[in-house]
Structure 1
Amino acid sequence: MNIITRHKYLFLFLSILVALPFLIHLPKVKTVDNVDYFTLENHPDVLFYEKFKQIFGNDEFFVIAIKKDPLFTRENLELLKQITNDIEQINGVRKVKSLANVNDTIGEDDFFMVRPFLEDIPEEPDDLNKLKQSALDNPLYLKNFISTDGKTAAIVVSVYEKPEDPGFRKKLLKECDAVLEKYKDRTGKVFKAGWTTTNLYLSQYMKQDIATFIPITYILITLAVFFFFRNIYLTGVAVLNISICMGSTMGLFPIFGITLNNVTTIVPPLVMALALCDIVHIFSHLDRQVLVESGTMEKAIANTLKKVFLPCFLTTLTTAVGFISLYLSDIPPIKDFAVVASCGMIFEFFFSFVFMPPFLLLFNENKIFHKKKDKGTLHSRLKKTSGFVFEYYKPICIAGLALIIASLWLSSMIRVETNLLDYFKRTDKVRQSIGFVETNLAGIGTLDISLVSKTQDGFKSPENLKIIETIQEYSSGLEGVDKVMSFVDFIKDMNQSFHNEDPEKLKIPDSKALIPQYLLLYDSDDIDDFINESFDHARISLRLSHHSTRDQEKMIQSLRQFIDGLNTDDLEIRITGRALQDVNTIDSLVKGQIYSLATAACIIIVIMFFVLRSVSLGFLSIIPNLFPIILNFGIMGALSVSLNTATALIAAVAIGIAVDDTIHFLSQVKSNLMAHQDIKAAVAGAILTKGKAIVLSSLILCIGFGVMAFSRFVPTINFGALSAVIMITAVIGDILILPSAALYLTRWGVKFHKL
């Protein structure tokens, strides 16, 4: 440490030189206008899904819902036609379907023809009512293009997949909004819902979070430092050091090809808060007594750095281990978070010990060193806490054990799921639009069943079509399935029309010869979404209103069991679609959470044993680190907070951060024991010596995590709130549980002084 303070200008220059290559990349940091990155890499189901989409087209769509009462007037139907035609012209739109352009099969005996449903819009009320009834009677239209009450019309917009253009949804929806704006006086309120809109809004909310998090974190951290130390110069140095640390970390994003997304957006406030923790530990030792004992400012700062270097290094190491353990996840954005967050820890340690000390030496010593106040409010409260621990250590241990047992029981109630609707607040327009569409029409979630015949034209066979029908009927009866469509629906419609619209003929024809005949007469591409050209690959499409991956998993398991029970020797049947990808992602998330937490915990425990060089102290260190994590899962279970893409990060992140204060505390306990103090005196001294820095750093972390409460993204809010609670419970673990456990174990003959 002496070399840094002796050659302050050299190290100041070197630290700036290190920061510059990263800082110059800051303008290149990119955000994306989608959340397509939440997919598993090289998973078999993902690879099959991509091939499936190449055959039947991209399954992404969104619904534009317009409510009119009455809907079937000439004016409203003309309006529907105009909007449909205009949206068809938008670049990136693959297909647009509504009552305005959907085909209708009109039949007579032994003949039918296909023509647009709204080929001619009648003027007479009776004719309009007949048209309405015709739409409501058609199963191909109902809940797809028209609500069951006949008052809501839907325009279903299918889009192309454009992975090479991350912003295509934003441009497409902007043009769509421009179209709807032209007709707003005639349409009234319009609702848009579907993966296209949800995807975009999730990314837009992330951008708003970044614009909110950074300035608010700056303001709160600046106020916190000034409140804690009442020194404008130290406040300025802290803010500058944090800025360089955060800027360097953000500069890594373009270097590593990482974008700001809904996971990595929490990196800036997190790194800023953690950077301030080391600063607090350094600043808390800058009292005038150290200056007097050292003789010069250079020696005083060097001596201060020597005191905190090892604990700060270890806290940086353990926090980085907690972060990098998340790299075991199969989900790209979590891997990205692991990389940049762990690198951020390296930056914060480097700049706190290489940049900040030389920079402090540029100031007058009277502006930096403060008079130690032993009788401050916090000190007196810590002294009372110490006395409380000595008097009630047994009840504290019992209470802590009871909380752990209760939390373990409550944690069994945690729901492992991702729920699309729960990503948004109840007042959010996205959630309201989804609610309207799914109440009046069909769900916006999708699941598909792929059926491949071993023979060409296999799905011109009534036997295979009846298998599709059987699966379709079973699927329709599942809770959360709003609409099921397949090639069979069109064949049944053709059969009914071929027999002069006889309602009893709405079924699959028994004659194998009739199906090819129907297909010759059917002059429309409507079936292309459900059957391939060689008629050996069919698709059953399910529209879902259940967005919970837990419910979707039950649905998928039920379908698989039903399909396995069918006699389908000639067919290869496989479930695919977006819902399956979501279920697989959350399953991988949970497994990754377990691996990450176990890996981080094992490495950190080994580090603690190695550093403390004491089996008893090593085991003692486990208690305050597991306490907040177990309590966190208990709170999640009690409050019905699900384990999802955001909350799954908490345990691995928390164990890396929570151990920081334990290291500082037990390092002081060990130092006191080596000075031949008994365990009681060693613990009391650690509480008074390290208590203030522990409390202040935890409060700062609460501020850093608390900033996330300003997010519009509910999982981020939950992540911030639960992480803040962990920081509070970690203080309880270090100041109350750990000393009490040490005193209690001493009564049982455990010797902590044998190091």
Structure 2
Amino acid sequence: MYKLYSRIFLVITFVITVVSAIIATGLKFDYDFESFFPVNDPDLDYYQEFRRNFENDNDYILIGISNKASIFDQYFLNKIDALTDSLKNIPYILSVVSPTTIKNPIVGPLGIIEVPYIHLNKPELYHQDSLNIYQTKELPGNIFANNARSVALYVTTVNNPSKAKSDSIADNIFKILKNFNFHTTHVAGKVIGQKVYLQTMSDEMKIFVVSSIILVILFLFLSYRSVWGVVVPLIIVVVSLIWLFAFMKITGKSIDLMVTLIPTILYIVGMSDIIHLLSKYLEELRLGKEKIAALKTSLKEVGLATFLTTITTAAGFLTLLTAGIKPVREFGLYLAVGIFIAFILTFTILPAILINLNTPKITEKANHNKVWNKYLGKIVIFVFKRHKTILIITGFVLIASFIGISKIKINNYLLEDLSEKVQLKQSFNFFEKEYSGARAFEMVVNIEGSTESVLNYKILQEINKIEEYLYSVYGTGHIISPLFLVKSANRAFNGGGNNAFVLPEKEGFDQLVEKLSNFKKRKEFRTLISEDQKSARLTAKIPDWGSHLINEKNAQLENFFISKIDTTLINYKLTGGAHLIDKNNENLSKSMLQGLLIAFLIIAFIVGIMFKSIKMIIIALFPNFLPLVMIGGIMGFTGIDLKVSTSIIFTIAFGIAVDDSIHFLSKLRQELRKGKTLPYAIKRTMLSTGKAIVITSMILCGGFLTLILSDFSSTFYIGLLISLTLLFAILADLLLLPALLLMIIPKKLKEN
């Protein structure tokens, strides 16, 4: 009867899995940088208003090209000019600013004359052209490298292009650049970044899954020394993944940077329940029970503990819902769903398969089991003899860890996620080094309760003070603003000389602004001055100093503004995509602390129900709190900053690590209910659950370690730090947890 029902269930499961696999094939890779902006945030609302009033601050592509000889070489410049024409013909590209197309407008008696900065067909003028270029404030660091070894093209795309359009733009640019065969080329920008990230994610997802499978197969074979002990757990985890991917497709979720981690994490975390159930099943068979009786006992004794660990692990991931970043929240939600799917399938498919398999020959593995008992027994003896020493060492470790934690700082770099060997990162570093930087600086200056325009003379004088501070103290590159338009107009009406690139005296200013207003429908005007002329945009490029230093500079800027600027005339606000990412990083780090507190409360509640004892709650939480503190200390001493990737580690690791403690305490509770003394109960618990705890922990550590193969630093740190946390957690469970029990709980503990 059992076999009939189990086979019917397996057939139904197989059909559902086939359908799910068909659905899951529709999943697509997608990556949008803006999805990492904070949701329901006033700064995001302001940024969206900024883009409506002016333009999107990241719809551009930078192309840097160097030459073996001088950049003022006719053959090289002709190739740059031809490249410019080719880029203009690419669909979805609106404009291309190039060294060979920029001109200096001069207003004369006969109208406007546009004098090229480079006289392309007159190489005899190149020397004078170069002198003029490097005396023109807005060109060095923007179009021409500060060291005169390369030039840059500034390509503007359509507003917020879709993935298909972005891929088309990127593919065409790389194809054209390949045809021109320049000495070196560097390409950076949102469109390029998204393509690189998507390709890297796709490649790494395959590497992670294959690496995890190989690693788990190795651990399972060494643990169970049988084919079925490897194949059956693999089947259950793979089916869990297929069902989860189908669920993701049905709910409209695509594969982004965070989702690429889900298969590896679910694969190794889902294996934990299987190993605990299998280990208990084999233990019951060793005691001489029949297959069905062994299964029933295993489901009864391991079922509750495994259900509780499923809740704690899922809770760790669900605390990511406190984050203000959509991909992080979805990552936590879908992983939690996957954990429950894996739990359900473990306690349905696994018994169904085991019922239809021949009973394993346990006697052949007796020697293997004796080896485990030998070493676990030594650990028990060590804890009994040295439990006070363990607690003293723990105290010193805590002190050292807190010292390290005090050194942690919240910091973030835009492309730190990519390793130095990735071409996009090299290109980003190129623009950081050779030009004014690749990070956008965006400031909006608003008129304070006035009917005046931002082109008012007093307003521009205040903006001039701000720009002088930004150049000399803050460290921006050339600033494009309404003041830049006025200075450019003044230069154009005064013969085009660089000495006229200044804010003119009051006399004649009104006439100049009146002439400038005739161009208010042009893009240059509209992207810098709002339609009502009450807001001015100041945009520039800066090096990616990191959010920690930039926040310090922003605080100094605020102090300057309050003390040196007439705040009755104007106010200001910083905005832009980079600014939002920095703010998001800081907010996420704080929200993760809230999430960690929630996870602690959930675990405390579960342990409280199990033991109805405050002491047991403390005993259960402390061994899992210690590894987190140790990781914080390591981060502080090694200079690993707190950011999006490292802040989510703590809640994830805690939710996973606490599982072994619950399994240990659950078995301890069963032994105490039988009337055993505490030392004896600890010994039986260690010998019974110790093997499963060690195996699952090693699989988890090894599985997460595969993530260090990633070219993304966030994935690398998630793999490395969670692995270390789990390693510390297993030491805490095997050494510190029983030591605490011996110290805090009376020698003869009776059931409450």
Q: Distance in 1 between matches of 2:62 and 2:698?
A: 46
Q: Give the partner amino acid of 1:519.
A: L
Residue 121 of structure 1 deviates from its aligned partner by: 2.2
- CA change 1:625–1:290 in 2 (3 A) is same
Whether 2:261 is the aligned partner of 1:266: answer: yes
Matches within 5 A, 1:307-318: 307-318=301-312
| 1:171-210 matched pairs, under 5 angstroms | 171-184=168-181, 187-210=182-205
- 1:477-626 to 2 correspondence within 5 Å? 477-479=472-474, 481-501=476-496, 504-509=499-504, 510-511=506-507, 512-519=509-516, 525-532=523-530, 535-565=533-563, 566-626=565-625
2:349 alignment counterpart: 355
Higher mean displacement: 43-52 or 534-543: 534-543
Q: Which residue of 1 aligns with 2:57?
A: 59
Q: 2: distance between equivalents of 1:118 and 1:516?
A: 25
Q: Where does the alignment leave 5 or more consecutive residues of structure 1 unmatched?
A: none
Residue-by-residue CA offset, 1:542-594 (whole Å, 9 max, x unaligned): 21112512222222222233233321434342221122211221122122201
Q: Distance in 2 between matches of 1:577 and 1:505?
A: 31
1:606: Cα distance to partner?
0.5
The superposition leaves residues 287-318 of structure 1 with CA deviations (integer Å, 9 ceiling, x where unpaired) of: 376266333x2222222222211111111111
Post-superposition shift, 1:659? Answer: 1.0
SS at match of 1:25: helix
User: Contact conserved, 2:677 with 2:747, CA < 8 A, in 1?
Assistant: no
Per the TM alignment, residue 233 of structure 1 is displaced from its structure 2 partner at its CA by 1.5
Offset from partner CA, 1:727-755 (integer Å, 9 cap, x none): 11110110001111122224xx5874352
Q: Which residue of 298, 311, 314 corresponds with 2:292?
A: 298
SS in 2 for 1:154: strand
Q: Which residue of 2 aligns with 1:719?
A: 718
Q: Which secondary structure state, in structure 2, belongs to the residue aligned with residue 561 of structure 1?
A: helix
Partner of 1:72: helix, strand, or coil?
coil
Q: How many residues align?
A: 745
Aligned-residue offset at 1:33: 4.3
Matched, 1:155 2:150: no
Counterpart of 1:275 in structure 2 is 270
Distance 1:288 1:457, change over 3 A: closer
CA 1:374 to 1:154, structure 2 compared with 1: closer, same or farther past 3 Å? closer
My pick for the range that moved more, 447-456 or 727-736, is: 447-456
Mark the CA change 1:203 to 1:588 in structure 2 (over 3 Å): closer, same or farther: farther
Q: State the secondary structure of the residue aligned to 2:480.
A: strand
Paired residues of 1:15 and 1:354 also in contact (CA < 8 A): no
The amino acid that maps onto 1:91 is P
TM-score, structure 2 normalization: 0.94
Aligned match for 1:254, one of 237, 249, 252: 249
Residue in 2 that maps onto 1:681: 680
Per the TM alignment, residue 231 of structure 1 is displaced from its structure 2 partner at its CA by 0.4
Unaligned runs of 5+ in 2: none
Give the stretch that moved more between structures: 720-729 or 200-209: 200-209
Give the C-alpha shift of residue 480 in structure 1: 5.0
Partner of 2:663: 664
Does structure 2 retain, via aligned residues, the 8 Å contact 1:102–1:117? yes
**Contact conserved, 1:486 with 1:541, CA < 8 A, in 2?**
yes
- Name the residue aligned to 2:376: 382
**1:631 is the counterpart of 2:630:** yes
Query: 1: CA distance between counterparts of 2:534 and 2:94?
Result: 24
| Corresponding residue SS for 1:36 | helix
Q: Secondary structure at the match of 1:451?
A: strand
1:225 aligns with 2:220: yes
**CA displacement at 1:7 relative to structure 2:** 3.2
Asked if 1 retains the 8 angstrom alpha-carbon contact of 2:169 and 2:191, the reply is no
Counterpart for residue 320 of structure 1:
314
Point out the more displaced range, 612-621 or 7-16: 7-16
The Cα shift of 1:123 comes to: 2.6
Q: Retained in 1: the 8 A contact 2:117–2:132?
A: no
Please name the residue that 1:213 is paired with: 208
RMSD of the alignment, in Å? Answer: 2.5
Opposite residue 29 of structure 1, the aligned amino acid is: L
Tell me how far apart the structure 2 counterparts of residues 113 and 467 of structure 1 sit (CA, whole Å). Answer: 30
* Whole-angstrom CA distance in 1 between matches of 2:130 and 2:141: 14
Instruction: Give the direction of change, closer, same or farther, for the CA distance of 1:622–1:209 in structure 2 (3 Å limit).
Output: same
In 1: Cα distance, 2:604 partner to 2:493 partner: 75
Question: Residues of 2 paired with 1:137 and 1:282: CA distance?
Answer: 76
Partners of 1:753 and 1:37 in 2: how far apart? 54
Question: Please, what TM-score do these two structures have when normalized by structure 1?
Answer: 0.93
Stretches of 4+ aligned residues off by more than 6 angstroms? 3-6, 367-370, 520-524
Shift of 1:151: 2.6
Q: Is the 8 A contact 1:105 1:112 kept in 2?
A: no
Separation in structure 1 between the aligned mates of residue 286 and residue 542 of structure 2, nearest angstrom: 69
Secondary structure in 2 aligned to 1:484?
coil
TM-fit CA distance, 1:369: 8.7
| 1:12 aligned partner | 10
What is the percent sequence identity of the aligned residues? 23
Report matched runs for 1:466-477 at 5 Å. 466-477=461-472
1:741 and 1:465 map into 2 onto residues whose CA distance is 69
Q: Distance in 1 between matches of 2:282 and 2:113?
A: 89
Deviations 1:509-534 (A, max 9, x none): 12332322542787975444323455
The offset of 1:209, in angstroms, is: 1.6
Moved more, 56-65 or 563-572: 563-572
Amino acid at match of 1:326: L
In structure 2, distance between residues paired with 1:300 and 1:504: 92
Q: Which amino acid aligns with 1:87?
A: L
Distance 1:379 1:671, change over 3 A: same
Letter matched to residue 113 of structure 1: I
Which amino acid in structure 1 is aligned with residue 146 of structure 2?
Answer: T
In structure 2, how many angstroms separate the alpha carbons of the residues matched to 1:53 and 1:591? 28
Structure-2 change in CA distance of 1:422 and 1:177 (3 Å)? same
Deviation per residue, 1:490-522 (Å, 9 max, x gap): 322332343335555332112332322542787
User: Counterpart of 1:7 in 2: which secondary structure?
Assistant: helix
What is the DSSP-based 3-state SS (H/G/I as helix, E as strand, rest coil) of the residue aligned with 2:134? helix
Post-superposition CA distance 1:18-73 (Å, at most 9, x none): 65554432112221143331111131111211121122222112211111231122
Q: Deviations over 1:460-498 (max 9, x none)?
A: 322111111111111122455333222212322332343
Distance across 2 between alignment mates of 1:726 and 1:90: 50
One-letter amino acid matched to 1:537 = S
Aligned to 2:80: 80
Contact 1:423 1:715 (C-alpha < 8 Å) held by counterparts: yes
Q: CA–CA distance in 2 between the matches of 1:701 and 1:501?
A: 68
Shift in Å at residue 99 of structure 1? 1.8
Match of 1:464 in 2: 459
Change (3 A) 1:513 1:707: same
Counterpart AA for 1:169: S
Identify which range, 452-461 or 337-346, moves more after superposition.
452-461
CA gap 1:464/1:373 in 2 versus in 1, 3 angstroms: same
Letter in 2 for 1:438: E
Q: Contact 1:287–1:370 at 8 Å: present in 2 too? A: no
Distance 2:514 2:446 in 1: 22
Deviation at 1:191? 0.9
Summarize deviations over 1:384-408 as a string: whole Å, max 9, x none: 1111111111111011121122112
Deviation at 1:639? 1.6
C-alpha distance in 2 between matches for 1:722 and 1:541: 38
1:15, distance to aligned residue in structure 2 (A): 4.0
Deviation at 1:370, TM superposition (A): 6.4
Cα 1:370–1:557, aligned 2, differ >3 Å: closer, same or farther? farther
Report the 3-state secondary structure (helix = DSSP H, G, I; strand = E; otherwise coil) of the residue aligned with 1:243: helix
Matches of 1:534 and 1:597, distance apart in 2: 47
Q: Write out aligned runs for 1:731-746 (5 A).
A: 731-746=730-745
Q: Which moved more, 1:78-87 or 1:545-554?
A: 545-554
**Are the aligned partners of 2:388 and 2:739 in contact in 1 as well (CA < 8 Å)?**
yes
CA distance in 2, matches of 1:478, 1:198: 30
